[in-house]
Structure 1
Amino acid sequence: MEFLSPINEFLVDQLGPLGPLIVVGLLGLFMVLLTIPMLLNQPEDPLKKLQKNIRQESAPKPRKERLRQGNRNEQLEKFAHFLEPQNEEELSAIQLKLRQAGYQSKDAVRFFHFAQFALGIAGLILGVVYVFLLGAGEDMTSQQLTMYVLGPGAVGYMLPKYWVTRRVASRKEAITMGFPDALDMLLVCVEAGQSLDQSIVRVAKETRAACPDLAEELEIVAYEMKAGKDKDRVLRDFGTRCGVEDVSSFVTVLIQSATFGTSIADALRVYSSEMRDKRVMRAEEAANKLPTKMTLATMMLTVPPLLVILVGPSVKGISEIGNMGN
């Protein structure tokens, strides 16, 4: 191992105390980039290929129309062992979060982890290019080198998670704002004599322009009911996908109404009235918060100029008197 000492000293002299670590990280990155094409071009497992052919032969001929959720991506299928969590609970959690963000595809989890992996690698490459190839790391310390090399990679890795989180929050807000109007429309349809399934289809069609996120969820509910799925299960999945408290309460009202045999129209009438009152309360809460926010902004924007106007002449006069005394 003595032959490694000169190499270690050379790396420390050129790159600082963390030089060997940086070189090892670059070699690992190079090996990962070298492995990706090899994995993409690896042959398909004969057993899986045989099973796929058997399923294709036994399956009925597909219709011309494509379903909204098609088959899984075959390229991503090869990397399912590291593009999907192996723990069932973690997989269910990330699937739920992506569905709450509006990504209903079967490959959503794989695309999410692939985006994290790709953006992380891209960030590391940008950091290495900026520090070493552009010469920006000549006067940097070892900590600064580490930050500029690993920082973009960490940012790229966390960017998809941040995007999904913001998307979930904005989608929940949009559903919360559009749900009272959709509920009123659903009540009108039910009282007009339509069934609950027909009312949901009509409301989904009418609310697409105002709230496309809620309309998409209602369309999923309508399709699942048409497919013969249990109505209680469909409604519970609807509340889970939305992740909004008002929708969950609405689902509970419908399930209890069907369980006890009460009128759905009466339940919807009472609940829609509560939703209207709740919307008014939200508006009043936002209006009550506004004076506090305006007061803080007004103080920050008006007090400093006012102090300058009032105190400025006095300070100038005192300074002139001091200069005259000198």
Structure 2
Amino acid sequence: MDAAQLQTWLTWAATGMIALGVGGGGFLWLREARFGAKRRARLSNPGGVVQGGAGESAAVSTVVSTVKRLGDRMAIQDPAQISAIRQTLIQAGWYSREAVAFYLGARGFALILATGATLFTVPWAMSGIGGPAAIGAAGVFAIAAILGPDQVVKARRRKMALEYVEGFPDMLDLLVASVEAGLSLDAAVARVADEMGRRYPNLAGHLRFLTLELRAGRSRKDAWGSFAERLGIDEAASLATMLRQSEEMGTSLGETLAVFSDDMRSKRMLRAEEKAMALPAKLMVPLILFIFPCLIGVLMIPAAYRISQSFVGGH
């Protein structure tokens, strides 16, 4: 390897380290902001106990307030677009009224950070040594700034949707048992929310919110429709439609929930079987790339060594 190739490899390695450092720093900042929000919520309680880190909490609060102010300045004027963003954030687990402002502020803050990081690569590109690497690093910063916040929201949304899908059959089983025991549907929802709080806390939170809407006088059809929109999964939409049709046609609620619960349980079993059937195909790639070369090496190296020794001994 000559000097030019070595310099190119070192340049790309430096680019990778810079990108890794920026990504790790952003992850640490987001995690600290999350911990800071939890600390502020805990300290806002009357019986909260302050535990060290006052300066750190003040710094995090300053950063969060800066992001919020930036989001307020970047506020979108289209109500439909704001409603769509709010719905997406609710499905991802952020229910605050200021969630849209924080989201827009995070996007703007990410663009500012990417712009600053790109400016640091300008002298590197102008030097003529690492021009392509500097351009690549600037591209990585730009892509991370543009797609980073959206990917975080999508990842959180997928995580929440997975919990909802896993907990939905259990919720239906508990609803069926409660309704068949003599409780009304509204009382059964409140009871199921208390029972599922430990295993599926986010789903239980949506059930409690549904209970509050029903107690506030909202119609059952609208309350269950909003519940399905907040969860954002097909099972919840099917349940809301089924309850609306059952109420309009006057069919037995217990039997309807029992049939729907059996259907959900069958779908969960089919999803498990589908994942099991796809497992051999997914194992093929690591088998070919990692396990198969090791087996070939273990089987062929001793034979090749013996053949080479026989040739040496023959000579």
TM over 0.5: yes
Counterpart amino acid of residue 264 in structure 1: L
Distance 1:76 1:289, change over 3 A: closer
Equivalent residue number for residue 86 of structure 2: 95
Rounded Cα–Cα distance in structure 1 between residues aligned with 2:67 and 2:293: 58
Equivalent residue number for residue 110 of structure 1: 101
2:144 equivalent to 1:174 = no
Rounded Cα–Cα distance in structure 1 between residues aligned with 2:262 and 2:271: 14
Distance 1:321 1:115, change over 3 A: same
2:250 equivalent to 1:261 = yes
> Percent same amino acid among aligned pairs?
30
2:287 equivalent to 1:298 = yes
Rounded Cα–Cα distance in structure 2 between residues aligned with 1:149 and 1:126: 8
| TM superposition shift of 1:80 | 6.9
User: Larger deviation: 202-211 or 303-312?
Assistant: 303-312
Counterpart amino acid of residue 191 in structure 2: R
Counterpart amino acid of residue 113 in structure 1: L
| TM superposition shift of 1:291 | 3.0
Q: CA RMSD in A?
A: 3.2
| Aligned mate of 1:213, from 192, 199, 202 | 202
Counterpart amino acid of residue 106 in structure 1: R
Rounded Cα–Cα distance in structure 2 between residues aligned with 1:304 and 1:170: 35
| Aligned mate of 1:285, from 274, 284, 300 | 274
| Contact 1:221–1:238 under 8 Å retained in 2 | yes
SS at match of 1:116: helix
Rounded Cα–Cα distance in structure 2 between residues aligned with 1:193 and 1:154: 56
Equivalent residue number for residue 59 of structure 2: none
Equivalent residue number for residue 14 of structure 1: none
Rounded Cα–Cα distance in structure 1 between residues aligned with 2:139 and 2:287: 41
| Contact 2:125–2:132 under 8 Å retained in 1 | no
Higher helix share: 2
Rounded Cα–Cα distance in structure 2 between residues aligned with 1:202 and 1:192: 12
Rounded Cα–Cα distance in structure 2 between residues aligned with 1:110 and 1:81: 5
Rounded Cα–Cα distance in structure 2 between residues aligned with 1:214 and 1:298: 38
Counterpart amino acid of residue 138 in structure 1: S
Matched ranges for 1:119-134 at <5 A: 119-129=110-120, 132=123
Rounded Cα–Cα distance in structure 2 between residues aligned with 1:324 and 1:217: 79
Rounded Cα–Cα distance in structure 2 between residues aligned with 1:245 and 1:270: 17
Deviations along 1:216-237, one digit per CA (max 9) or x if unpaired, are 1111111111111222111111
Deviations along 1:194-241, one digit per CA (max 9) or x if unpaired, are 111111111111111111121111111111111112221111111111
Equivalent residue number for residue 191 of structure 1: 180
| TM superposition shift of 1:243 | 1.3
Unaligned runs of 5+ in 2: 1-44, 47-63
TM-score by length of 2: 0.70
Deviations along 1:82-123, one digit per CA (max 9) or x if unpaired, are 433222332222111111101111111111010111122123
Counterpart amino acid of residue 278 in structure 1: K
**Across the two proteins, how many residue pairs are aligned to each other?**
254
| TM superposition shift of 1:252 | 0.9
Equivalent residue number for residue 212 of structure 2: 223
Distance 1:122 1:302, change over 3 A: closer
Distance 1:76 1:229, change over 3 A: farther
